[in-house]
Amino acid sequence: MANNFESNFTRKLAMKVLDSFESERVLSKNVDTQLLSGQFNANSGENVDFKRPTDFVSTRTSDGDISGGTADPIITGKATGTVQNYITVEMDYFEADEALKMGTDKDRFTTDAAKRIVTDLEVDYAGFMRKNAGLLSGAVGTAVTTWADVAASGATMASAGVPAGDWCYAVNPYTQATLADVQRSLGAVDPLVSEAHKDAIISNNFAGMKVMTATTLDSYTTSSVADRVGAIASNPDVTYTTAKDSMTQTIAVNAFGANLVVKAGDVLQIAGVNRLNMNTRQPVVNGAGANVLFTGVVTADVTLSGTGTGNIVISGPAIYEAAGAYNTVDAAPVATDVVTLLGAASTLYQPNLFWQKQAFSIGSVPIKKLNSTDTIATTEDGLQIRVSMGSSVRENKQIVRLDLRPAYGVMNPFFAGQGWG
């Protein structure tokens, strides 16, 4: 039987692709990768829904008689794994260059192609995370310059009731360098300090968090309109039934600056509405003994009218119901409540991100083979990259193509946030 050299070649390529792809992953490797794994249909490529956890309100009695009360309804929310666009790299070479198959350049080209796939994935996913991270630590626009700033994000997660374990914190390389310099000034009396100064490595366990450097953190520039303070125009829907699937909320606003462009990733704060711990349902109190105001993150750009009115959608809704099991705030936001878009006008921001692993999920849609020589390269956590090889007989060219079709899910926006100083 004849040897299938092309099939062998694509399998070898797939191994190189996986090695390069995995070595460059940061954000996408530190979120849930199991929930969406194997859930997508290669024929339809449709989105996949999965159930959110349920919660209840307990009853306290002296004799155990609860006949005068009512049972909690079981309200099941669903989150969606949303299929994204293909990420594709295509390479070609002439038949005269066929020796590349056996040369060292082949490995370099394959490695570079895989790096492009994973870089584009990480950039896209970083933006997705930023626009769906509902918590806030620090003051928007204030740089993280000390390890206390990092630890504050851990305190934010703990006080919000985020389950301990699998906490992560991502910074850009400049913040990493600043933190490493701070550690050097401490005299390197701690092994963590010494190692971080020597190699500029961020800690695997600081304040309960895995702190990492990510070159793909997303940035945005705020609107040039200076008036970033307005008010709620009408009472928003604050029921869990409405928010349970998307975990978003629409806030109708007025009294902002004319034609203000609200940017995805802007942090919206509502005065007089305080955040609750998701477990205890008690108001969160900061280190200064003050209540922590509710904030939500804007999910998409919106341009307000010439009179400063419009609808803003936030991730991480303000939920308030009488004896509600899913309340996130201590009072319902209402019309005339003051609303502030935190940060300054005309300013470039690149927030650090913190999250618990179950805040987000990532998976991939199985991609059908184009021909029998295709190989599906699968990472240990289930992401699939198709490695295809074909040809153009008219041009006497060989063609190599890499494809990834990811899917993203927001499991809980209150398990993630922006980290500032």
Q: Are 338 and 229 in contact, with CB atoms under 8 Å apart?
A: yes
Positions of E strands within 191-247: 209-213, 220-221, 229-232
Return the CATH number of the domain spanning residue range 1-56+77-219+350-421: 3.90.1690
Q: What contacts 255, CB < 8 A, 6 or more positions away?
A: 229, 230, 231, 308
Specify the pLDDT at position 5: 38
Specify the pLDDT at position 38: 64
- CATH 2.40.30 domain range(s) in the chain: 220-348
Burial of 282 (0-12, 13-18, 19+ CB in 10 A): exposed
In whole angstroms, give the CA distance from residue 303 to residue 312.
Answer: 9
The pair phi, psi for residue 240, each rounded to 5°, is -70, -35
- For 203, which DSSP code? P
Task: For domain 220-348, say whether CATH 2.40.30 is its number.
Answer: yes
Cα-to-chain-centroid distance, residue 369? 30
Specify the pLDDT at position 81: 85
Here the tokens at position 184 are 């050097």
Q: Which of 10, 109, 14 is nearest to 404 (CA)?
A: 14
In whole angstroms, give the CA distance from residue 131 to residue 417.
Answer: 9
Specify the pLDDT at position 57: 66
- The residue type of 217 is L
Specify the pLDDT at position 50: 67
Specify the pLDDT at position 126: 97
Residue at token pair 């961020």: 202
Q: What contacts 320, CB < 8 A, 6 or more positions away?
A: 238, 327, 328, 329, 330, 331, 332, 333
In whole angstroms, give the CA distance from residue 201 to residue 179.
Answer: 10
Specify the pLDDT at position 189: 41
Q: Are 174 and 145 in contact, with CB atoms under 8 Å apart?
A: no
Specify the pLDDT at position 201: 43
SS3 of 112-136: HHHHHHHHHHHHHHHHHHHCCCCEE
In whole angstroms, give the CA distance from residue 5 to residue 398.
Answer: 14
List, run by run, the mean pLDDT of 10-residue segments along the chain (421 residues).
Answer: 50 82 91 76 66 68 69 75 92 62 61 91 97 97 94 96 94 89 56 42 76 93 96 97 95 97 97 95 94 97 98 97 92 98 97 96 88 82 87 74 93 96 95
The pair phi, psi for residue 174, each rounded to 5°, is -70, -40
Half-sphere exposure of 367 (CA within 13 A, CB side): 28
- CATH 3.90.1690 domain range(s) in the chain: 1-56+77-219+350-421
Q: Which helix (H) or strand (E) holds 160?
A: helix 147-160
